[in-house]
Structure formats: structure tokens, C-alpha cells
Structure 1
Amino acid sequence: MNSADSDPLFDDVADRVVALGNEFLDANPEADAWEIASGMLSGIVHFWLYTHQPCADPSCRSCAEMATAEMRLQQLLDEARESAEESSYFHSPFDRNVGNA
């Protein structure tokens, strides 16, 4: 599922993750925001991998795209890339490849 599907549950979960990150930042003003984000990402990756395990039936059509660890990793990376590219934070005015007129 991706955000283009505009599923209200998807949107709610994504909003809550952002809110949780902001809560951690507010509660820990001296903390490194990158560490908080990396910790959240690690937990999200573990949860995503847990929820995308194939079933016990090796011929299951529903699980075919997730049949191996490498296939699951590729699906995860594709989904992460899509989410990143759709984010309003993907490009920064301080990116090295930003042109100046």
C-alpha cells in the first residue's frame, strides 16, 4: 500500500508516527533528532518485516512477491523510496545539487 491509495488508516498511522517523533523530540530537547529518527526507522523496519512474512504454503499466490528475504527487502526498499520521493521533505534548499540563479 502507498499513500497514493489515500487509505484513512494508512494516513492515521503515518501521522501518529510523525507525532511520536515530535513527542520524543519535545521530551528530550538535548537528544539528537537523527538518533530518534533512526531508532523509529529501525522499529518500523522490524515491524514491516514481521508483518510481511509469507505463509507456510510455498505455492501461495498471495505470498509470491514476498517468498524470500531478498524479495521482502526489495519490496521494503521500493516502498521506502516511494514514500521518500512523495515527501515534501525529500528536497531541501540546502541539498548540494540545488541550483542557484
Structure 2
Amino acid sequence: MMDSPENEPSLFDDAAAAVVDLGNRLMDQNRDADPWDVASGLLAGAIQYWLYAHQPCPDPYCESCAEVATAEQRMKLLQEEIREFAEESDYYHSPTDSNVGRA
């Protein structure tokens, strides 16, 4: 039986899960690795791919590319997406954050 489109994971979800799986695999294969180094490397690669994928087309008057027509516009859009994804993350707030109230 085929899954209905509502039940199928989106390509977005698949890509996000693949990055998490890759990070976990790298840490499993390199037990002494610093997780911050692995996470920063994954982020650097994701940013490179995002910038590549969001290049404007050759037409300087293309309406579809208007929001990514300059490096500054692409950077603003990237920062907006980073903030949105971070704030939606289960890990955005941590019980050990320095600004968490203590009883």
C-alpha cells in the first residue's frame, strides 16, 4: 500500500534528518572528536550548499530571483532561515542556559 502524500516525509525533512544522521555517524566513527567541530563542519557545508542553491539566474530583472539578487539579500534570507530553524528546534533552549530561572 502506498503512503498518501500527507504521510510521506518531505524532501526538506529527509535532508534535515540526513544531516543529523551524518553528524551522529561521524561522532560514532570518531569517538574522540569534538562535537562542536563536527557540528560546525556540517553547518559550513550546509551554508555552502544553501548559497549555491540560492544563486540568482542570469537575468538581472528576474522577478523570481528578486529576493536573492545580491549577496546581501541572500545573507539576510539565510539569517532569517537560521533564526527560524533555531527557534523551532527542541535544543534552542537548554535547561543549563545561564538565563534559566533556578528554584
Deviations 1:12-65 (A, max 9, x none): 110110000000000000000000000110010000000100001111000000
2:68 aligns with 66
1:51 equivalent among 50, 53, 56: 53
The runs of 4+ residues in structure 1 deviating greater than 2 Å are none
State the Cα distance separating 1:98 from its structure 2 match: 0.3
Identity between Structure 1 and Structure 2 (%)? 59
Q: Distance in 2 between matches of 1:8 and 1:46?
A: 22
1:93, distance to aligned residue in structure 2 (A): 0.4
**Higher relative helix content:** 1
Aligned to 2:85: 83
What secondary structure does 2:56 align onto?
A: coil
Partner of 2:15: 13
- Equivalences, count: 95
TM-score, normalization by structure 2? 0.90
> 1:39, 1:50 → 2: CA distance?
17
Where do 5+ consecutive residues of structure 1 fail to align? 1-6
Task: Give the alignment's Cα RMSD to 1 decimal.
Answer: 0.8
Write the distance in 2 (CA, Å) between the matches of 1:9 and 1:43. Answer: 18
